[in-house]
Chains A and B, each alone.
Chain A
């Protein structure tokens, strides 16, 4: 709870700094603030329990447990990487810098609500805080038509999904008479799925979440929005936001719908299978790097759905580990891609042509990030897949896991397309500017990917 309050406070500080005209200090102050918040978050690990705020017991709204603290930690680190990169990314837009950064801080707030809600109202609030902020950020390049299109599309479709979600919540309330996850769970355990109202409501809520995590067939927004948004916002959507939605989805399924009947999981199996197949197959033909990562993100969503299917003791750990490795590899890739895009003016895969010769060290970072996304040992991405897949097999989902393994083998192809472009193709002679902060972020991400690959126990044993 303190973590959330401090983060909201940091957002206020950012706005205040805009008024005091301290824009130059904005990024250092936010990074410092995040370091403090990370510490606060660590301290709340030990004393998780009922949340008291201003003398009121808020437990029916938010619940601070190890799950939320661990995910918050990962999200704070991801946010820190994004802010570090924003310094150079928004170099030419100093005017709006505080707007953008403040919105990202509030997205982090929303994400923290999503990891710790214990009430459907809070869940809805969290989703809306994150989504509305993202609509703004996606369309933030006002003079860029594609950015406008991305913002508009995301807003229209997101509103539709919100309506579905709200309708679902209403039906759940109508059936169970409560917004609280615990009471919904006990209702489901007692009456099962006999009530049509509850059945329809739960399905609608699940569909809304499938939209948010970009699972097939609710994924259509994601490639267009990823491509059109400013690249840093794409990174934000692909990493922090995606993992926080998954945490929220997991929380809903594990505590709210814990006693739900097995047929819902059959639906999830079908969706996961379609997501893996479509994500990986369509990615094969992409030439735009951001679209490529959008489809790769869809494919990864398919794998993460397996963790939500399993819902046994280790699956929360597996999801946490997978989310962290996915964030590290994706941010590591974007830390290389952002400066390459701005130097070459292209966002296609051939922007990387010849990078292996021009900047061998940078190319090495991108290579390792791609290998981690593809799940090649000893990088962390391999173990992330391994834990999720073995968890799914232990819970009896053998066929879908087999499909996951096959599709992830297909996935290796398009990750290698990027690597091949760097090493086998001769590029143009454009000078690639590579600011310091990008390389620091890239090095840390890659180093953590290797470290987690060799020593998974540090994160895997948390939950």
Chain B
């Protein structure tokens, strides 16, 4: 199994190397298949391991001893346990489907080979992130996926705003990464190791030093807010939609943005020891989930709606973590990966059919023209809205039940935001697929269903989005919750540390479920009445006023950052550039350099080439050393 475990990250790396180094010599279009098949092979390795690995087992692979400084060492090690397995299946499984989809979507793009090169590199780093046995390995993956995200957002680099979006994503992530790094330094300093399992075992012993654990977890959480787009560092994610749509599906919905969730669950003992941090996580999650859902209500770009929805759903996962329900967070992560990847791919299929049109006001009536996309998209929307018995229903419900049990206010806010989810999703669905087409006739005549490489992933993901809830059926169905059982070995150590209630009664749980399902149905009906029966179309931004205008402008968060941070930094930078750098630093540097080089010149003259002088110098040297020796 060690061999298979090594193969999981190595195969995509191989795909990256082949595409990156030999891409121009290979026949055109083969890059897509090389990229896809390498991820598929990796997925097969994951399944083979999954077949044999018991839930409570773990594989530890020490590839080599990487850094050895004195008595401290870091190994280049991989660690595969139940949590890793779940993440691996999502990353390679969903990753493969999106690779396949990209073959159709990116067909004919001049950067086709480059695209798959980046995509494979991304998968490699993502696998390092989830498989790393220590925080440094995780950090390599963490930085690596950030790099690939940057490269792929700015994939169409000839378009200036896209480059800006890429830079914004990079900078925002760097802020978070600083938190992660500092957290790592603290861990290293106080635990003397970065190995995650060792840290988890040592942590309870250091719990008396409550402040320390809290600082570490808070710093790690700052890292998570950057990567997983939480308040206040979320603004890069909507802009990241500048990248090709499969990138949005893979990186900005299914995998990379969930890295923060994974990291917290991976260190769940640390976090369980810091109840204050958990409270902060809870409230950041609650506010983000509501905030992003409200902004999502008024967006008119099909991908922007989905982007804010992702931010909101990630917030929901953080709520679960904040409540100490780590496996519920992972459950929602998995189902979200299914339906959100599907939504993005569906949106990509729509954009593909409309030759790049992303404004939902110029769509409409597409359900007959692209039926497969329509059916899968609507099922995914039902799933994310929490329509009864679909995957999102179960995973969301579990979080809602935990919230109801622990904190009623949280429950209310989360319930509202999940009601809003149904609203903005079905506003999107009805505007896109129902009524009549609102674009030009020219465009309409070209609308066509996508090729099989694109529709096949849609169908597979659709099945997963519908049935994905089966991995976590609640107790009222009289079956065991498979995911909870499977993850027990990972979450158990922390479960003992967090005081959980006795759980809510079955009757109450059924009641909550009915309530949530009903709310979703009501929301869908409201949207149906407004956008299908009354045929409303969102107005342009200029005519909006008051609160609605604030929503449409995303609460002016970007403008706030612009004026409060970016502009002052630019001003300061200008001052440093013109005065401080030129007048002070340059002078110091230049003076030092001339002094040193003239010193070199002077010393060089001692090298005259005369052997006699050299021998004399040696004799003098020996004598001087003797004198020094005798004097001290």
Contacts and interface: CB of A to CB of B under 8 A. Distances in A.
Contacts of A454: 66
A285 B625 contact: no
A457 B65 contact: yes
A266 B632 contact: yes
Given A270-B628, A285-B597, A457 B618 contact: no
Interface string B588-632: 000000001101110110110101011101101110111011001
Contacts of A283: 600
Given A160-B618, A218-B618, A221-B614, A460 B68 contact: yes
A217 B65 contact: no
Nearest to A455: B64
Given A282-B607, A285-B600, A457-B64, A217 B620 contact: yes
B69 interface: yes
B68 A461 contact: yes
Contact of A456 (B68, B604, B614, B620): B68
15 contacts: A157-B618, A160-B615, A203-B626, A216-B621, A217-B624, A220-B607, A220-B614, A270-B625, A278-B603, A281-B596, A284-B596, A285-B600, A410-B596, A454-B66, A457-B65
Contact of A267 (B69, B604, B613, B625): B625
Contacts of B597: 284-285
A51 B436 CA distance: 96
A224 interface: yes
A211 B600 contact: no
A307 to B, nearest CB: 16
B513 to A, nearest CB: 53
A157 B64 contact: no
A320 interface: no
A390 B69 contact: yes
A390 B621 CA distance: 29
Contacts of A433: none
Contacts of B629: 199, 203, 263-264, 267
Interface of B: 64-70, 73, 596-597, 599-601, 603-604, 606-607, 609, 611, 613-615, 617-618, 620-622, 624-626, 628-629, 632
The DSSP consensus for interface residues of chain B is helix
A460 B73 CA distance: 12
Contacts of B601: 285
Given A156-B611, A157-B618, A220-B614, A203 B625 contact: yes
Given A282-B604, A455-B66, A457-B68, A157 B611 contact: yes
A91 B620 CA distance: 44
A375 to B, nearest CB: 17
Contacts of B603: 278, 281-282
A223 B596 contact: no
Contact of A224 (B65, B73, B596, B609): B609
A164 interface: yes
A374 to B, nearest CB: 16
Interface string A194-212: 0000011001100100010
Contacts of B628: 266-267, 270
B600 A281 contact: yes
Contacts of B615: 156-157, 160
Given A207-B625, A271-B625, A285 B604 contact: yes
B597 to A, nearest CB: 5
Interface string A173-202: 000000000000000000000000001100
A153 interface: yes
B607 A211 contact: no
Interface in A248-282: 263-264, 266-267, 270-271, 278, 281-282
Given A203-B629, A267-B628, A153 B611 contact: yes
